[in-house]
Amino acid sequence: MAGSGFSPGLASANDHYYRHHRYYHREYGCERHRHRAGAAGAIAGTVGGGIIGGALSHGNVPGTLLGAGAGALIGHHVAKGSVRC
């Protein structure tokens, strides 16, 4: 095996590297994408909900705030659930 270029120590190191990064990107990478999508959905939902709440309450502040809060919650959950890993 001296001339084959195969090294058992190198193969196990590469295998460890592959398994580590495969696990990291599957578990932590997916969670990072869900978090970012949820944050973006909450922001978009806040803006949209505030506009709709303000329109339905004719510019009344409590209606606008209620719409913004509901929009943030709905936007966060919809965006977070739309990520597929």
The reply to whether 31 falls in a domain is yes
Is the pLDDT at 41 greater than 80, yes or no?
Answer: yes
The reply to whether 1 falls in a domain is no
What pTM was estimated for this model as a whole? 0.63
The reply to whether 75 falls in a domain is yes
* Mean pLDDT for the stretch of residues 18-41: 71
The reply to whether 3 falls in a domain is no
Q: What is the pLDDT of residues 7-17, one digit of tens each?
A: 555 556 566 66
The reply to whether 24 falls in a domain is yes
pLDDT-based confidence at residue 82 (cuts at 50, 70, 90): confident
Give how many domains the chain has, as a whole number: 1
Domain, as residue range, for 51: 8-81
What number of residues does the chain have?
A: 85
Task: HSE, CB side, 13 Å, CA atoms: give it for residue 67.
Answer: 18
Cα radius of gyration rounded to whole Å, the chain: 24
